[in-house]
Amino acid sequence: MTREPDARQYFSGLYERSDDPWLLRERWYERRKRALTLAMLPDERYARAYEPGCANGELSAALAARCDALLAADLNPDAVELARRRVAHLGNVQVEQRAIPDDWPDGRFDLIVVSELAYYLDEGQLSRLCGRLTESLAPGGTILACHWRQPIEGWPHSGDFVHDELNATLPFARLSHYQDDDMELDVWSSNADSVHRREAK
């Protein structure tokens, strides 16, 4: 049986080698993914948002323009420091070190973005993540998940597996779905109204 890597050691190794391990700033793939993420959010603005697994804060900086208050978090202390520097000019963003899913923040959120995170969790952690998402989503709130669909060496789950689990477990309407060979992006909400119907109210 192949032993899964330790998440803390894995991410520490990545950040020791680079302050942008996934080339979030440079690659068109990453910039396009951020644009798709923002475009798929059904509401123009969110009061309180949470982004676990924020890495170096590139997506956090983009989400901040759509949120009154954004809490971003990451397991790795180097990522937390990099994210804090990235959003230092944004007064509505707070960055904390947290291990997901067990070190979950208090309160409810109008938006929770789970991007490139859940396939690093074992099945028990993924189940607990689904529970946390369900319990902490504010009425009418949005959950967005985005994950790489190709195999990740050393980790057991694919993005497809993660999204199948989320879709089967989350008790919310799936508003939209995008998939290509590389990524899968889904949006769920406790408000099943379309963007047009939301705006018309």
CATH code, 51: 3.40.50.150
Domain membership flag for residue 1: no
Binned at pLDDT 50, 70 and 90, residue 152 comes out as confident
- Domain total for the chain? 1
Owning domain of residue 123: 7-200
Q: What is the pLDDT of residue 150?
A: 83
Domain membership flag for residue 78: yes
The whole-number average pLDDT for the span 161-184 is 96
Domain membership flag for residue 2: no
Give the three-class secondary structure for 67: strand
Domain membership flag for residue 41: yes
Q: What is the pLDDT of residue 153?
A: 72
- Any idea of the CA torsion for 157, 163, 166, 167, to the nearest 10 degrees? -140
Q: What is the pLDDT of residue 3?
A: 41
Binned at pLDDT 50, 70 and 90, residue 87 comes out as very high
Compute the chain's Rg from CA coordinates: 16
Its pTM stands at 0.88
Q: What is the pLDDT of residue 120?
A: 85
In this predicted structure, the answer to whether residue 6 has a pLDDT above a threshold of 70 is no
The whole-number average pLDDT for the span 40-68 is 96
- For residues 50-74, one letter each, b for 16 or more C-beta atoms within 10 angstroms of the residue's C-beta and e for the rest, the string is bbbbbbbbbbbbebbeebebbbbbb
Q: How far is residue 25's CA from residue 56's CA, in Å, rounded to a whole number? A: 9
The whole-number average pLDDT for the span 56-80 is 95
Q: What is the pLDDT of residue 130?
A: 97
Q: What is the mean pLDDT of the chain?
A: 89
Domain membership flag for residue 193: yes
Q: How far is residue 33's CA from residue 40's CA, in Å, rounded to a whole number? A: 11
In this predicted structure, the answer to whether residue 195 has a pLDDT above a threshold of 90 is yes
